[in-house]
Structure 1
């Protein structure tokens, strides 16, 4: 089996031997109802999925107006909540990965690094996340640890979690008012006090209907969290809404198939929440009402997989693993069919697509000031595309697959590669400014903060794709802090 085939099998089929628990608010003592039984109950259920869990008759939709107002009041470049105490994966709800006020030094060196990742699982690794004040760096590991460091590399605290019994953490925490929220591959979601490292609350997998994993990074709006959970038997997923103060689930929709990895993006101006999944489908809800709006099926060489998946809608080879940013009334989607799409947020119609040379699973970055989207592909290239037309502005070879996050700064693009390097590319031309050699595949995002850049890599493992040999950890992956090399 070649590496691509093995990776598809590993990512798509992980956990298939684990029985999924009864879904969505089943009361104690009731007879378990399978997902397929629920989906066949009637036309109404088939139309709206299971939005609004059984036993959860009311919800208080979050107020999205502050986010929309902030986008209008500033330059519209990054739709962040109007609160300096909020920090999220890909920077904000729109998931732009854009840092217009940060500059990248002409040359860098490693100031410090710490071992963090040890698991060969092929999902992109968690991105180190600075707190809004920049004084604490949270590093979540695929070992199930979470550690807090100062910018100088001094360890403040570290905790072991229940995720250590699984594949640890691959999502990135959302940080709000001194609390970090993160889901783990144990299927639990954690709220952690950043000052002390104490767990404030922990919502167990059973409260997510028997989830086997949460690889999604939470989105936060007005006291409410949104994330995706994964299930097996059958491979499927659900979008969940939680009360951030207590961790109590308040709503869910389990129409997703294919064990979804992306993090939901929310466009408060357009009134849409969007995500993708391993079935090759983009799902979109109205926001904040959470009425289902539309879906879009990407292509794929494998074609529909018939009855074993979602009534023929599951396209092998079309998996959508990257988080989908929203901008200019559109969603920007990379697929394992090798294409990168712009979809109309209003109805999900395809406005253009761009063909790369291999699968696309990276998290794109968007520069709204220039109207450019930057995306990496397994064809070893990063592409700069015009957001309006899809025209290629430039491409750059980075020596290996790009499966992590692309970051845009004032003048540079930061991107990690399977060739073990972190690259800084000129934002206007794609020319290499510098690259830093590391140990393992660089699959986290790179976060600029002041004069420092934080990122993480995978551990170095052997025999991961060889079923006849034991997988061996040769060396742990590290989290790094780069500083200017003056």
Structure 2
């Protein structure tokens, strides 16, 4: 079966949607579940022909999505799985709402504790601290390739270093299933970590993902399977993968994606769709759980110099889609570097409405499914509350800096980090600031409320980062914070 690994244990104008194959080379996954390009690349690197490093496993068993769809239809729509008490993932659930209706944000806060974690100048948003389902452990993945396990009072349980320390570390957020955390690194490898001890249960090698150079995507989990995106170079491209969570074996992939994709896949089991985006400015959609390709949508953008394409395919520079795309009420909500925020029809990918923000949009939006409101931030410094059905703006608030991380919706409050080094709490109804907390670096992780505490992380503080003629200097490491009520 799987090759041995030392630490394994057994285991705007309207743009119509189009099929990517109509304008791009044939990059569709072959029937065995692995694309020809990835298969040949892996064979050339390792001298064997197999399923991303796993010989003999040529067929997938589609996950059972019916229980998830039933819960979504009868419940509040944001539950990740029926076993809600055992699962915790980025943006809270498969639909990636970032919605915590039972959490109440204090009217005033203070820093209870902080710990230095981030030391790399890479401008991608930082990993969001992730509480375990019981709330007794908070996992913090850093851009140094370390993972920290911290108790709610700030005491360290353990810290481990991974192979991602040789790269740009972690920017995705752990997915937690029972006693195991799953996270991909900028070394192109996927790690399964025992939450109680910090031991690695298994981790993949880059050749098992077709020589991936990075994984910035946070995995989605359904019925024993993980879904994530990998990044590749020569050409600049990406792939969507299904991975057996117990063994780490890839069971299916599709490498039709151009550009290096950063978003985390969103899954709507009720609608039968999996959606993601990439740096080519395209939203890609597959049927779920069959994983037959459904449609694609190309956002705008200026194109490259003189309008040339990159990587042998349409590549709209200036239209990058870096934020995770939540799915709600038959729609997919995507922000683009073309300055627009889109609602696309989940059925066919057609544009239902879009809003011109005037600047880059790359944050992860939050959705309130009870009120039908989506909250999004952009490089124009504004947080906007938009009606999900019409795109009408309900309010907008300037938070003093670029917004590239995740917005979080709670019972009464929107939590959002800004480049101006503050974390903001905005009134969910009016957008008025309730409070803000000053930090050291840009606040680019999501803020997670849990049991009266709020967890988030910032970037390190650098000088000369954008000056090619001067040495970049880390002045202060970025820290992960825990806020509590000041009352």
State TM-score, norm by structure 2. 0.89
What residue in structure 1 maps to residue 279 of structure 2?
278
How many angstroms apart in 1 are the aligned matches of 2:43 and 2:367?
Answer: 49
Aligned match for 2:39, one of 25, 28, 31: 25
What residue in structure 2 maps to residue 373 of structure 1?
374
How far does residue 467 in structure 1 lie from its aligned partner after superposition? 1.2
What residue in structure 2 maps to residue 306 of structure 1?
308
Alignment of 1:120-139 (within 5 A): 120-139=121-140
Contact in 2 for aligned 1:25/1:55 (Cα 8 Å) = no
Write the deviation string for residues 375-414 of structure 1: whole angstroms up to 9, x where unpaired. Answer: 0010000000000000000000000000000000000000
Structure 2, gaps ≥5 residues long? 1-35
Tell me, yes or no, if structure 1 residue 119 matches structure 2 residue 133: no
How many angstroms apart in 2 are the aligned matches of 1:54 and 1:233?
Answer: 25
Give the match's secondary structure for 1:71.
helix
What residue in structure 2 maps to residue 406 of structure 1?
407
Contact in 2 for aligned 1:97/1:365 (Cα 8 Å) = yes
Contact in 1 for aligned 2:226/2:245 (Cα 8 Å) = yes
Write the deviation string for residues 52-104 of structure 1: whole angstroms up to 9, x where unpaired. Answer: x997531100111111111123233x142111100000000000000000010
What residue in structure 1 maps to residue 81 of structure 2?
81
Q: CA RMSD in A?
A: 1.9
How many angstroms apart in 2 are the aligned matches of 1:25 and 1:452?
Answer: 46
Write the deviation string for residues 250-294 of structure 1: whole angstroms up to 9, x where unpaired. Answer: 000000011000000000000000000000000000000000000
What residue in structure 1 maps to residue 146 of structure 2?
145
How many angstroms apart in 1 are the aligned matches of 2:261 and 2:293?
Answer: 17
Contact in 2 for aligned 1:125/1:170 (Cα 8 Å) = yes
What residue in structure 2 maps to residue 418 of structure 1?
419
How many angstroms apart in 2 are the aligned matches of 1:219 and 1:200?
Answer: 18
How many angstroms apart in 1 are the aligned matches of 2:369 and 2:421?
Answer: 29
Tell me, yes or no, if structure 1 residue 337 matches structure 2 residue 351: no
What residue in structure 2 maps to residue 204 of structure 1?
205
How far does residue 28 in structure 1 lie from its aligned partner after superposition? 7.6
Contact in 1 for aligned 2:227/2:265 (Cα 8 Å) = yes
How far does residue 26 in structure 1 lie from its aligned partner after superposition? 3.9
Give the match's secondary structure for 1:331.
strand
How many angstroms apart in 1 are the aligned matches of 2:358 and 2:417?
Answer: 18
What residue in structure 2 maps to residue 359 of structure 1?
360
What residue in structure 2 maps to residue 14 of structure 1?
none
What residue in structure 2 maps to residue 65 of structure 1?
66
Write the deviation string for residues 327-358 of structure 1: whole angstroms up to 9, x where unpaired. Answer: 00110000000000000000000000001021
Number of matched residues? 446
Contact in 2 for aligned 1:235/1:258 (Cα 8 Å) = yes
Alignment of 1:119-268 (within 5 A): 119-268=120-269
How many angstroms apart in 2 are the aligned matches of 1:339 and 1:245?
Answer: 40
How many angstroms apart in 1 are the aligned matches of 2:362 and 2:385?
Answer: 16
Contact in 2 for aligned 1:258/1:277 (Cα 8 Å) = yes
Write the deviation string for residues 12-33 of structure 1: whole angstroms up to 9, x where unpaired. Answer: xxxxxxxxxx942349866999
How many angstroms apart in 2 are the aligned matches of 1:452 and 1:189?
Answer: 29
Structure 1 window deviating more from structure 2 (23-32 vs 452-461): it is 23-32
How many angstroms apart in 2 are the aligned matches of 1:258 and 1:140?
Answer: 25
Contact in 2 for aligned 1:257/1:310 (Cα 8 Å) = no
Seen in structure 2, the aligned counterparts of structure 1 residues 271 and 451 have a Cα distance that, compared at 3 Å, is: same
Give the match's secondary structure for 2:202.
strand
What residue in structure 2 maps to residue 348 of structure 1?
349
Structure 1, gaps ≥5 residues long? 1-21, 34-49
How many angstroms apart in 1 are the aligned matches of 2:337 and 2:315?
Answer: 13
Contact in 2 for aligned 1:362/1:402 (Cα 8 Å) = yes
Contact in 2 for aligned 1:26/1:32 (Cα 8 Å) = no
How many angstroms apart in 2 are the aligned matches of 1:429 and 1:482?
Answer: 23
How many angstroms apart in 1 are the aligned matches of 2:324 and 2:44?
Answer: 36
How many angstroms apart in 2 are the aligned matches of 1:406 and 1:141?
Answer: 20
How many angstroms apart in 1 are the aligned matches of 2:98 and 2:192?
Answer: 23
Seen in structure 2, the aligned counterparts of structure 1 residues 29 and 457 have a Cα distance that, compared at 3 Å, is: closer
Give the match's secondary structure for 1:163.
helix
Give the match's secondary structure for 1:68.
helix
How many angstroms apart in 1 are the aligned matches of 2:41 and 2:335?
Answer: 39
Contact in 2 for aligned 1:421/1:437 (Cα 8 Å) = yes
State TM-score, norm by structure 1. 0.89
Tell me, yes or no, if structure 1 residue 461 matches structure 2 residue 462: yes
Alignment of 1:421-460 (within 5 A): 421-460=422-461
Seen in structure 2, the aligned counterparts of structure 1 residues 79 and 329 have a Cα distance that, compared at 3 Å, is: farther
Contact in 1 for aligned 2:426/2:434 (Cα 8 Å) = yes
